[in-house]
Structure 1
């Protein structure tokens, strides 16, 4: 999987959005890369939120991918669930384990389909490395 942080979409426009982390995994059946590998690949978007002020700040909460994850603390994830304000585009709410060494699923969401084409995603991932 290829990764980039702070990936922007519609840069310089009024509706510019930035995603904390974006991952891309090419589609490689039988470990073969061909012309379908990009178009059929999977884009994953990860938004990290630490508290309600961060959640409601207007920054982030951009879920354009094939899979969309909200990463937060266990306690804040529970608060979002109880207040029923987890965005509908979220596939999973992920929280760290006790050692903060890996993430696990706290809640399953409804999810959505990719909002942007593969070429735009890859271009924005590449630009984020400039």
Structure 2
């Protein structure tokens, strides 16, 4: 399934924001776990920094997308839902339960944090799986970059 223009804009803005932060790194489409009976999860964007904090971002551009059966993967130390500003207003006005997930609005140019994310206790095993997923995503991204030139 192809991504919407709005989703791509948010992804690019997240990548730019991360690259502007000293000691912060990010990866798109991070898969955590393996195919099989236990399954796997996929985060739209994962960021980590030199302090060891891992932040996961799920991008949704419509209310139907948010309410769909697509799993929201909130596996980081802090987790965020990133949405267009118009959708953020609907979420806040309808008192949508975010359950400790931070809400970030994107207005086409910049991000605005609307609610704070609660700190999650990530086990060492989960942390290793997240970092492995980040490494795999980075390798996949580098391959695409060099092969598509």
The reply to whether TM is greater than 0.5 is: yes
Tell whether the 8 Å contact from 2:33 to 2:129 is kept in structure 1 after alignment.
no
Q: 1:83 to 1:74 in 2, by over 3 A?
A: same
- Corresponding residue of 2:112: 104
Q: Deviations over 1:23-73 (max 9, x none)?
A: 01022xxxxxxxxxxxxx100111110111111222242111111111101
Query: What is the TM-score normalised by the length of structure 1?
Result: 0.75
Tell whether the 8 Å contact from 1:88 to 1:109 is kept in structure 2 after alignment.
no
- Corresponding residue of 1:45: 56
Which structure 1 residue ranges, 5 or more long, are not aligned? Answer: 28-40
Tell whether the 8 Å contact from 1:26 to 1:42 is kept in structure 2 after alignment.
yes
Tell whether the 8 Å contact from 2:60 to 2:81 is kept in structure 1 after alignment.
yes
Cα distance in 2, alignment partners of residues 115 and 53 from structure 1? 30
- Corresponding residue of 1:30: none
Q: Counterpart of 1:13 in 2: which secondary structure?
A: coil
Q: Out of 67, 72, 80, which is 1:69 matched to?
A: 80
Whether 1:8 and 2:31 are equivalent positions in the alignment is: yes
- How many residues are treated as equivalent by the alignment? 113
Cα distance in 1, alignment partners of residues 71 and 40 from structure 2? 10
- Corresponding residue of 1:121: 130
Compute the RMSD of aligned alpha carbons: 1.9
Which one has a larger percent helix, Structure 1 or Structure 2?
Answer: 2
- Corresponding residue of 1:93: 103
